[in-house]
Amino acid sequence: MSEQLFLVIAHDKQGAEDLRAQHRDAHVAYLKKSHGGVQIDVGGPLTADEKNSAGTFLIVRAADRMSVEQFVAGDPFAAAGIFGSVDIKPCKVTLRS
């Protein structure tokens, strides 16, 4: 099976700002590592305002959704209980600048 694109949107739980700050370095290090079947194309924080994040977005390439689910489950933010909800959607890129 060929690779597919997936949009991952992880919304932080309400009041998770301090917990997010405590685990941010581990989260960033995790995203920078190689994850075999999952490749990150682009990603970053969802912003609540100029100072606070409200979640994480990623566009990743993977063979299947299960690989992406396992990748997200291994994120230190997920392990710390920061994510209140995670949406994983197959997607296509049809516009680029």
> Exposed/middle/buried for 29, CB within 10 Å: 0-12, 13-18, 19+?
exposed
Q: Is the pLDDT of residue 42 over 90?
A: yes
> What does each C-alpha distance from 62 to 17, 49, 53, 76 come to in angstroms?
30, 31, 26, 20
Please give the pLDDT value at position 34.
Answer: 87
Query: Cα dihedral angle (63, 89, 40, 57), rounded to 10 degrees?
Result: -160
| Tokens at 18, concatenated | 């301090």
> Any idea what DSSP says for residue 14?
T
- What is the residue-averaged pLDDT of the chain? 93
In the chain, alpha helices (H):
17-32, 65-73, 76-79
Average pLDDT of 10-33?
95
69 pLDDT band, cuts 50/70/90, is very high
